[in-house]
Chain A
């Protein structure tokens, strides 16, 4: 079985998505397949043929720099070693768009499935909450 994270890491050189446990537990290798959060270590390359895959390299602001959630991660100290923080948390960006207030404190499932050993999650939750509040405020502007 060719795990499909191997394709872009080893053949395309897109190393932003990390490999962690390679057994479907840690969530580090998460990417979007047709918009759905998918653990690439548990997915066969053949199964995603013809589907739209987005990795961390495809997540950025309109100017090509970090988007609002990525900036919030920096401002809240939610990025330490950065190894786990990266790809998986940003898929929450999708969730933020769908759900105006996906407050992780009220709904822990919003950050479920990703293991971060540096931050203790508080800074990550703060960054997500701040972004959610900002986006919501932006939407409400006339």
Chain B
């Protein structure tokens, strides 16, 4: 068995520290190196950037809080000129299941949607207009499933 060092209490607890004790926190001379760009509107965010050959992506999202996906076909979207890609859960290894410790989430909805806004498919196209048209062209049929919308319902006899 290895010897463990005896516990040494920190000399000062966080609660008794003042701003002056910190190197950075509360020190007014520490400023954002890009602060001036930000306050004057010159800072460039990713959404502000345009690069040659850039594609425009859009995500198709569920309009329903809980439903089975009966049919999902992106072929009509891919037929639109300028559309480069249209993907669903089928394009991922093991349907794109992820999560730790329980792998119970999907990058794109697989078989079911579980909230309004759940991503179902994603498209990439040469122009924003083509990407928007691609979303509208995707064929998706939902079969609505029961929704528990409040705590009272969740406590009902026979609640799922």
How many residues on A have C-beta within 8 angstroms of the other chain's C-beta atoms?
27
Interface string of B85-124 (1 = CB under 8 A from A): 0000000000000000000000000000000000000000
Given B28, B31, B39, B47, which contacts A82 in the complex, CB threshold below 8 Å? B39
Q: How large, as a class, is the contact surface on chain B?
A: 10 to 19
Shortest distance from the beta carbon of B115 to any chain A beta carbon, whole Å: 18
Question: How many angstroms from the CA of A75 to the CA of B43 in the assembled complex?
Answer: 18
**A contact face: mostly helix, strand, loop, or mixed:** loop
Q: Is B48 an interface residue (CB 8 A)?
A: yes
Judge whether B44 and A70 touch: CB under 8 Å: no
Contact between chains at A15 and B44 (CB < 8 Å): yes
Which of A17, A56, A82 has the most chain B CB atoms closer than 10 A to its own CB? A82
Q: Mark B23-40, 1 if CB is under 8 A from A, else 0.
A: 000001001101110111
Stretch at the interface among A32-40, A83-91, A94-102, A104-112: A83-91
The SS class assigned to the B binding surface is: loop
A85 to chain B: which residues have CB within 8 Å?
38-39
Separation of A9 and B34 alpha carbons in the complex (Å): 21
In the bound complex, residues from chain B placing their C-beta under 8 Å from that of A66 are 36, 39-40
B41 touches A56 (CB 8 A): yes
**CB distance B35 to A74 under 8 Å?**
yes
29 A-B residue pairs with CB within 8 Å: A9-B48, A15-B44, A15-B47, A15-B48, A17-B41, A18-B45, A19-B47, A55-B41, A56-B40, A57-B42, A59-B40, A59-B41, A60-B40, A65-B36, A65-B40, A66-B36, A71-B39, A74-B32, A74-B35, A79-B32, A80-B32, A82-B38, A82-B39, A82-B43, A85-B39, A86-B39, A86-B41, A86-B43, A90-B39
